[in-house]
Amino acid sequence: MFNGDPYDSDLSIPNPPPGKNFLSDWLPRHMPDTVQPIVDKFVDAVLKKFSPEYVATIGYCYGAKFAVQQIGNGKANVAAMAHPSLVSIEEIAAIKAPLLIIGAEKDHVYNDELRKKTEDKLKEIKATYFTTTASGVSHGFALRGDLSSESVKFAKEKAFTDSLQWFERFAPKTTGTHL
């Protein structure tokens, strides 16, 4: 997805090391319009090769945008996202399937204002959704959180198990191919 240039955790937000910055060093090379064709090609190939009857998508931070798009374009049956970034209200408005949102109390990206706008839009379109906010954790907790912190460890594990339960809730009760 990143053409051999994966995200370097040393570029962490909000306190990168001197001389390094996520927003100026990595993100410009991986804007959604650059990554979108890669995601589309991958999703289309998976759907063609496996013909699954059920597709669940999950996106943490940057990946949330692409997970949500798949329930907006009808290529997935359910989605989950944790501490999302770059997801527009228009993309939320377009969803056609259940969405789980796991947020962080301290989040400069998916902040209180955006969280409220997102929930208002979900209510307006009568979406099936569940949203939760983990206290005492920051943006990124579910992916690169400090597991020595009891709060972060609990929230990270809860995000994972909640996502699995969300996917199971909407999975068909058959024995077909699930991806």
146 is catalytic: no
Domain range summary for the chain, segments of one domain joined by +: 52-170
H or E, element range at 18 = none
Q: pTM here? A: 0.85
**Catalytic residue of the set 30, 44, 61, 120:** 61
**Best CA proximity match to 6, nearest among 108, 141, 143:** 143
For residues 68 and 49, give the distance between their C-alpha atoms in angstroms, rounded to a whole number: 22
**Best CA proximity match to 63, nearest among 122, 165, 134, 140:** 140
- Please write the tens of the pLDDT for every residue from 95-142: 999 999 999 999 999 999 999 999 999 999 999 999 999 999 999 999
**Catalytic residue of the set 107, 146, 162, 178:** 107
25 is catalytic: no
CA angle 56, 102, 120 (to 5 degrees): 95
**Best CA proximity match to 178, nearest among 4, 153, 168:** 168
Residue 4: its pLDDT value, please?
57
162 is catalytic: no
Please state which of the four CATH numbers 3.30.70.890, 3.90.110.10, 3.30.450.20, 3.40.50.1820 is assigned to the domain occupying 52-170. 3.40.50.1820
- Please write the tens of the pLDDT for every residue from 7-39: 555 545 555 556 665 656 666 776 788 889 989
Mean pLDDT for the stretch of residues 134-163: 95
**Catalytic residue of the set 10, 139, 146, 178:** 139
- Please write the tens of the pLDDT for every residue from 43-96: 999 999 999 999 999 999 989 999 999 999 999 999 999 999 999 999 999 999
